[in-house]
Amino acid sequence: MSTLRNLTVLGSGVLGGQIAWHSAFQGKTVVVYDIAVDALARCRLAHEQYAALYVSNLGAGEADVVATRDRLTFATDLAGAVAGADLVIEAVPEVPDIKRAVYQEMADLLPPHALVATNSSTLLPRDFAADTGRPEKFCALHFANEIWSMNVAELMAHPGASRDTLTAVAEFAVEIRMVPIPVMKEQNGYILNSWFVPLVNAAQSLVTNGVATAEDVDRTFMIGGRPIGPMGLLDMVGMKTAFDVLHYWGTQTGDPQMGANAAYIKEHFLDKGRLGLATGKGYYEYPDPAYLRPGFLDVPDIAAVPNIVSRMLPL
Protein backbone atom coordinates (compact mmCIF):
# COMPACT_ATOMS: atom_id res chain seq x y z
CA MET A 1 0.00 0.00 0.00
CA SER A 2 1.30 3.47 -0.86
CA THR A 3 1.89 6.11 1.78
CA LEU A 4 -0.05 8.67 -0.28
CA ARG A 5 -3.15 9.04 1.87
CA ASN A 6 -3.61 12.82 1.86
CA LEU A 7 -4.29 14.28 -1.57
CA THR A 8 -4.54 17.90 -2.66
CA VAL A 9 -6.06 18.62 -6.08
CA LEU A 10 -5.11 21.99 -7.57
CA GLY A 11 -7.99 23.14 -9.75
CA SER A 12 -11.67 22.38 -9.26
CA GLY A 13 -12.71 22.22 -12.91
CA VAL A 14 -14.34 19.27 -14.61
CA LEU A 15 -11.50 16.78 -14.25
CA GLY A 16 -10.06 18.20 -11.03
CA GLY A 17 -13.45 17.81 -9.42
CA GLN A 18 -13.76 14.25 -10.68
CA ILE A 19 -10.29 13.28 -9.43
CA ALA A 20 -11.11 14.74 -6.02
CA TRP A 21 -14.50 13.01 -5.66
CA HIS A 22 -13.30 9.65 -6.93
CA SER A 23 -10.18 9.65 -4.76
CA ALA A 24 -12.26 10.48 -1.69
CA PHE A 25 -14.73 7.75 -2.62
CA GLN A 26 -11.81 5.31 -2.72
CA GLY A 27 -10.72 6.28 0.79
CA LYS A 28 -8.26 9.15 0.33
CA THR A 29 -8.47 12.37 2.34
CA VAL A 30 -8.76 15.16 -0.21
CA VAL A 31 -8.41 18.93 -0.27
CA VAL A 32 -9.71 20.70 -3.37
CA TYR A 33 -7.96 24.00 -4.02
CA ASP A 34 -9.00 26.79 -6.37
CA ILE A 35 -8.36 30.52 -6.46
CA ALA A 36 -12.05 31.24 -7.13
CA VAL A 37 -14.85 30.71 -4.63
CA ASP A 38 -17.42 30.39 -7.42
CA ALA A 39 -15.36 27.62 -9.04
CA LEU A 40 -15.39 25.69 -5.77
CA ALA A 41 -19.16 26.20 -5.56
CA ARG A 42 -19.56 24.68 -9.03
CA CYS A 43 -17.34 21.80 -7.97
CA ARG A 44 -19.51 21.12 -4.91
CA LEU A 45 -22.58 21.10 -7.14
CA ALA A 46 -20.88 18.65 -9.51
CA HIS A 47 -20.04 16.44 -6.54
CA GLU A 48 -23.72 16.18 -5.71
CA GLN A 49 -24.32 14.95 -9.25
CA TYR A 50 -21.48 12.45 -8.87
CA ALA A 51 -22.99 11.22 -5.61
CA ALA A 52 -26.21 10.33 -7.41
CA LEU A 53 -24.27 8.77 -10.28
CA TYR A 54 -22.13 6.61 -7.98
CA VAL A 55 -25.28 5.36 -6.26
CA SER A 56 -27.11 4.57 -9.49
CA ASN A 57 -24.20 3.32 -11.63
CA LEU A 58 -21.56 2.03 -9.21
CA GLY A 59 -23.73 0.58 -6.46
CA ALA A 60 -22.60 3.01 -3.78
CA GLY A 61 -24.71 3.19 -0.65
CA GLU A 62 -25.73 6.28 1.28
CA ALA A 63 -23.03 5.54 3.86
CA ASP A 64 -20.42 5.53 1.08
CA VAL A 65 -21.59 8.94 -0.14
CA VAL A 66 -21.56 10.40 3.38
CA ALA A 67 -18.05 9.05 3.98
CA THR A 68 -16.87 10.50 0.67
CA ARG A 69 -18.22 13.93 1.56
CA ASP A 70 -16.55 13.72 4.98
CA ARG A 71 -13.16 13.12 3.33
CA LEU A 72 -13.44 16.26 1.16
CA THR A 73 -12.56 19.81 2.10
CA PHE A 74 -12.34 22.92 -0.09
CA ALA A 75 -9.84 25.76 0.12
CA THR A 76 -8.81 29.01 -1.55
CA ASP A 77 -5.63 29.34 0.54
CA LEU A 78 -2.79 27.48 -1.19
CA ALA A 79 -0.53 27.22 1.87
CA GLY A 80 -3.26 25.63 3.93
CA ALA A 81 -4.38 23.40 1.07
CA VAL A 82 -0.98 21.73 0.63
CA ALA A 83 0.29 21.82 4.23
CA GLY A 84 -0.64 18.19 4.92
CA ALA A 85 -0.34 16.78 1.42
CA ASP A 86 1.36 13.49 0.62
CA LEU A 87 0.50 13.97 -3.06
CA VAL A 88 -0.54 17.06 -5.01
CA ILE A 89 -2.23 16.58 -8.38
CA GLU A 90 -2.19 19.71 -10.52
CA ALA A 91 -5.28 20.09 -12.69
CA VAL A 92 -5.22 23.81 -13.52
CA PRO A 93 -5.90 25.11 -17.07
CA GLU A 94 -3.82 23.71 -19.93
CA VAL A 95 -1.81 26.92 -20.22
CA PRO A 96 1.93 26.60 -19.52
CA ASP A 97 2.33 29.99 -17.83
CA ILE A 98 -0.53 29.26 -15.43
CA LYS A 99 0.94 25.88 -14.51
CA ARG A 100 4.43 27.34 -13.97
CA ALA A 101 3.08 30.10 -11.74
CA VAL A 102 1.19 27.61 -9.57
CA TYR A 103 4.23 25.34 -9.19
CA GLN A 104 6.52 28.24 -8.33
CA GLU A 105 4.09 29.60 -5.74
CA MET A 106 3.65 26.16 -4.20
CA ALA A 107 7.31 25.06 -4.15
CA ASP A 108 8.20 26.48 -0.72
CA LEU A 109 4.83 25.58 0.83
CA LEU A 110 4.98 21.81 0.41
CA PRO A 111 6.00 19.34 3.11
CA PRO A 112 9.44 17.88 2.32
CA HIS A 113 8.06 14.41 1.58
CA ALA A 114 5.21 15.49 -0.72
CA LEU A 115 5.06 14.24 -4.29
CA VAL A 116 3.62 16.29 -7.15
CA ALA A 117 1.94 15.09 -10.34
CA THR A 118 0.58 16.98 -13.31
CA ASN A 119 -2.71 16.00 -14.88
CA SER A 120 -1.74 17.85 -18.06
CA SER A 121 -3.38 16.36 -21.11
CA THR A 122 -0.82 17.47 -23.73
CA LEU A 123 2.20 19.04 -21.99
CA LEU A 124 5.33 17.22 -20.81
CA PRO A 125 6.33 16.97 -17.15
CA ARG A 126 9.89 18.00 -18.06
CA ASP A 127 8.46 21.44 -18.95
CA PHE A 128 7.58 22.07 -15.29
CA ALA A 129 9.95 19.85 -13.27
CA ALA A 130 12.32 22.66 -12.26
CA ASP A 131 9.40 24.92 -11.28
CA THR A 132 8.24 22.41 -8.66
CA GLY A 133 11.50 22.72 -6.72
CA ARG A 134 11.54 18.92 -6.37
CA PRO A 135 12.01 17.40 -9.84
CA GLU A 136 12.84 13.97 -8.44
CA LYS A 137 9.44 13.93 -6.71
CA PHE A 138 7.48 15.00 -9.81
CA CYS A 139 5.86 13.11 -12.71
CA ALA A 140 2.69 13.09 -14.81
CA LEU A 141 -0.51 11.29 -13.84
CA HIS A 142 -3.15 11.98 -16.48
CA PHE A 143 -6.76 10.95 -16.00
CA ALA A 144 -9.57 10.64 -18.54
CA ASN A 145 -12.90 12.41 -18.31
CA GLU A 146 -15.66 10.45 -16.58
CA ILE A 147 -13.06 8.88 -14.36
CA TRP A 148 -15.51 6.41 -12.83
CA SER A 149 -15.89 4.55 -16.13
CA MET A 150 -12.82 5.69 -18.12
CA ASN A 151 -10.56 4.51 -15.32
CA VAL A 152 -7.19 4.91 -16.97
CA ALA A 153 -4.29 6.81 -15.43
CA GLU A 154 -1.40 7.58 -17.78
CA LEU A 155 1.98 7.79 -16.05
CA MET A 156 4.86 9.65 -17.67
CA ALA A 157 8.35 10.17 -16.29
CA HIS A 158 10.86 12.89 -17.07
CA PRO A 159 14.65 12.55 -16.89
CA GLY A 160 14.84 13.65 -13.24
CA ALA A 161 11.95 11.62 -11.81
CA SER A 162 12.96 8.98 -9.28
CA ARG A 163 11.88 5.33 -9.39
CA ASP A 164 10.46 5.72 -5.87
CA THR A 165 8.22 8.58 -7.03
CA LEU A 166 6.95 6.65 -10.03
CA THR A 167 6.34 3.57 -7.87
CA ALA A 168 4.38 5.48 -5.24
CA VAL A 169 2.25 7.33 -7.81
CA ALA A 170 1.51 4.10 -9.71
CA GLU A 171 0.48 2.44 -6.42
CA PHE A 172 -1.77 5.41 -5.68
CA ALA A 173 -3.43 4.98 -9.07
CA VAL A 174 -4.12 1.31 -8.37
CA GLU A 175 -5.49 2.11 -4.92
CA ILE A 176 -8.10 4.46 -6.40
CA ARG A 177 -9.06 1.74 -8.90
CA MET A 178 -7.33 3.14 -11.97
CA VAL A 179 -5.59 1.11 -14.68
CA PRO A 180 -2.02 2.52 -14.81
CA ILE A 181 -0.87 3.08 -18.39
CA PRO A 182 2.91 3.61 -18.65
CA VAL A 183 3.92 6.06 -21.37
CA MET A 184 7.27 4.57 -22.33
CA LYS A 185 8.61 7.67 -24.11
CA GLU A 186 7.85 11.32 -23.49
CA GLN A 187 5.04 12.25 -25.83
CA ASN A 188 2.94 15.41 -26.02
CA GLY A 189 -0.61 14.15 -25.78
CA TYR A 190 0.45 11.02 -23.90
CA ILE A 191 -1.40 8.03 -25.38
CA LEU A 192 -5.04 9.00 -25.01
CA ASN A 193 -4.79 12.55 -26.30
CA SER A 194 -2.38 11.62 -29.08
CA TRP A 195 -5.40 10.14 -30.83
CA PHE A 196 -8.21 12.08 -29.11
CA VAL A 197 -7.03 15.63 -29.97
CA PRO A 198 -6.66 14.87 -33.71
CA LEU A 199 -10.11 13.26 -33.63
CA VAL A 200 -11.93 16.21 -32.08
CA ASN A 201 -9.87 18.73 -34.07
CA ALA A 202 -10.89 17.00 -37.32
CA ALA A 203 -14.51 16.89 -36.18
CA GLN A 204 -14.44 20.55 -35.14
CA SER A 205 -12.91 21.46 -38.52
CA LEU A 206 -15.97 20.02 -40.26
CA VAL A 207 -18.21 22.29 -38.19
CA THR A 208 -15.95 25.37 -38.33
CA ASN A 209 -15.70 25.10 -42.13
CA GLY A 210 -19.43 24.57 -42.62
CA VAL A 211 -19.04 21.06 -44.02
CA ALA A 212 -21.41 19.41 -41.56
CA THR A 213 -23.55 20.09 -38.50
CA ALA A 214 -22.38 18.89 -35.12
CA GLU A 215 -25.26 16.43 -35.04
CA ASP A 216 -24.32 14.89 -38.38
CA VAL A 217 -20.66 14.62 -37.39
CA ASP A 218 -21.76 12.67 -34.33
CA ARG A 219 -24.18 10.52 -36.34
CA THR A 220 -21.37 9.38 -38.63
CA PHE A 221 -19.37 8.37 -35.57
CA MET A 222 -22.16 6.81 -33.51
CA ILE A 223 -23.86 4.69 -36.17
CA GLY A 224 -22.29 1.31 -35.60
CA GLY A 225 -22.60 1.31 -31.85
CA ARG A 226 -20.43 4.03 -30.32
CA PRO A 227 -22.34 5.72 -27.47
CA ILE A 228 -21.17 9.29 -28.06
CA GLY A 229 -19.65 11.29 -30.91
CA PRO A 230 -16.77 13.79 -31.06
CA MET A 231 -18.94 16.87 -30.51
CA GLY A 232 -20.60 15.29 -27.50
CA LEU A 233 -17.10 14.45 -26.26
CA LEU A 234 -16.10 18.11 -26.62
CA ASP A 235 -19.03 19.01 -24.35
CA MET A 236 -17.83 16.39 -21.87
CA VAL A 237 -14.22 17.61 -21.87
CA GLY A 238 -15.40 21.21 -21.57
CA MET A 239 -15.10 24.06 -24.02
CA LYS A 240 -12.48 25.93 -21.96
CA THR A 241 -10.13 22.95 -22.06
CA ALA A 242 -10.84 22.41 -25.75
CA PHE A 243 -10.09 26.06 -26.48
CA ASP A 244 -6.88 26.04 -24.40
CA VAL A 245 -5.53 22.94 -26.15
CA LEU A 246 -6.44 24.02 -29.70
CA HIS A 247 -5.27 27.61 -29.19
CA TYR A 248 -1.94 26.58 -27.66
CA TRP A 249 -1.09 23.90 -30.19
CA GLY A 250 -2.41 25.94 -33.10
CA THR A 251 0.01 28.68 -32.06
CA GLN A 252 2.90 26.31 -31.41
CA THR A 253 2.59 24.46 -34.71
CA GLY A 254 1.39 27.34 -36.85
CA ASP A 255 -1.67 25.30 -37.84
CA PRO A 256 -4.24 27.83 -39.14
CA GLN A 257 -7.12 25.33 -39.03
CA MET A 258 -6.48 24.52 -35.38
CA GLY A 259 -6.35 28.25 -34.66
CA ALA A 260 -9.62 28.76 -36.54
CA ASN A 261 -11.21 25.97 -34.51
CA ALA A 262 -10.10 27.62 -31.27
CA ALA A 263 -11.56 30.94 -32.45
CA TYR A 264 -14.84 29.23 -33.36
CA ILE A 265 -15.12 27.69 -29.90
CA LYS A 266 -14.41 31.04 -28.26
CA GLU A 267 -17.00 32.90 -30.32
CA HIS A 268 -19.78 30.34 -30.23
CA PHE A 269 -19.29 28.87 -26.76
CA LEU A 270 -16.94 30.60 -24.31
CA ASP A 271 -18.19 34.12 -25.09
CA LYS A 272 -21.76 32.89 -24.58
CA GLY A 273 -21.13 31.00 -21.35
CA ARG A 274 -21.76 27.65 -23.03
CA LEU A 275 -18.97 25.68 -21.40
CA GLY A 276 -20.29 22.21 -22.16
CA LEU A 277 -21.68 19.58 -19.84
CA ALA A 278 -20.57 21.48 -16.75
CA THR A 279 -22.94 24.39 -17.50
CA GLY A 280 -25.63 22.33 -19.20
CA LYS A 281 -25.04 23.89 -22.62
CA GLY A 282 -22.41 23.25 -25.28
CA TYR A 283 -23.05 21.69 -28.65
CA TYR A 284 -25.97 20.00 -26.91
CA GLU A 285 -28.20 20.87 -23.98
CA TYR A 286 -28.17 18.71 -20.87
CA PRO A 287 -29.41 16.59 -19.15
CA ASP A 288 -31.28 15.60 -22.33
CA PRO A 289 -28.81 15.90 -25.24
CA ALA A 290 -30.22 15.21 -28.68
CA TYR A 291 -27.78 12.36 -29.30
CA LEU A 292 -29.38 10.34 -26.49
CA ARG A 293 -32.94 10.83 -27.69
CA PRO A 294 -34.82 8.06 -29.49
CA GLY A 295 -34.60 8.48 -33.23
CA PHE A 296 -31.27 10.34 -33.37
CA LEU A 297 -29.70 7.55 -35.45
CA ASP A 298 -32.84 6.34 -37.22
CA VAL A 299 -33.32 6.27 -40.98
CA PRO A 300 -35.40 9.42 -41.64
CA ASP A 301 -38.81 9.52 -43.21
CA ILE A 302 -38.62 10.02 -46.98
CA ALA A 303 -40.39 13.34 -46.50
CA ALA A 304 -37.16 14.68 -45.01
CA VAL A 305 -35.32 14.36 -48.34
CA PRO A 306 -36.09 17.91 -49.64
CA ASN A 307 -34.58 19.40 -46.49
CA ILE A 308 -31.52 17.16 -46.79
CA VAL A 309 -30.99 18.21 -50.41
CA SER A 310 -31.50 21.89 -49.63
CA ARG A 311 -28.60 21.78 -47.16
CA MET A 312 -26.24 20.83 -50.00
CA LEU A 313 -27.27 23.61 -52.38
CA PRO A 314 -26.42 27.31 -52.15
CA LEU A 315 -29.20 29.68 -51.21
pLDDT digits (tens, 9 = 90+) for 39-95: 999 999 999 999 999 999 999 999 999 999 999 999 999 999 999 999 999 999 999
Element (H, E) at 163: helix 163-175
> Is 1 part of any domain?
no
Query: What is the domain-level CATH number for residue 215?
Result: 1.10.1040.10
In angstroms, the CA 291 to CA 294 distance is: 8
What is the structure's pLDDT at 315?
Answer: 58
Q: In this structure, are 279 and 254 located in the same domain? A: yes
- Identify whether residues 155 and 229 lie together within a single domain: no
Same-domain status, 297 and 254 = yes
Low-confidence ranges of the chain (pLDDT < 70): 1-2, 314-315
Strands in the chain per DSSP E: 6-10, 29-33, 72-75, 87-90, 115-118, 138-143, 152-156, 179-182
28 shares its domain with 132? yes
Give me the domain span that covers residue 233. 195-310
Please report the pLDDT score of residue 148 as a whole number: 94
Per-residue confidence (pLDDT) for residue 49, from 0 to 100: 94
Instruction: Tell me, yes or no, whether 199 and 70 share the same domain.
Output: no
Residue 22 located in a structural domain? yes
Question: Taking the model in full, what pTM does it have?
Answer: 0.84
How much is the CA Rg of the chain, to the nearest whole Å? Answer: 21
Q: Answer yes or no: do 165 and 200 share one domain.
A: no
**Same domain assignment for residues 175 and 297:** no
Claim to verify: residue 69 and residue 214 sit in the same structural domain: no
pLDDT of amino acid 144 = 94
β-bridge pairing 138-143 and 152-156: antiparallel
Instruction: For residues 116 and 85, state if they share a domain.
Output: yes
Q: How many domains does the chain have?
A: 2
End residue of a domain, out of 159, 182, 205 = 182
pLDDT at 221: 97
HSE, side-chain direction, 13 A CA sphere, residue 282: 29
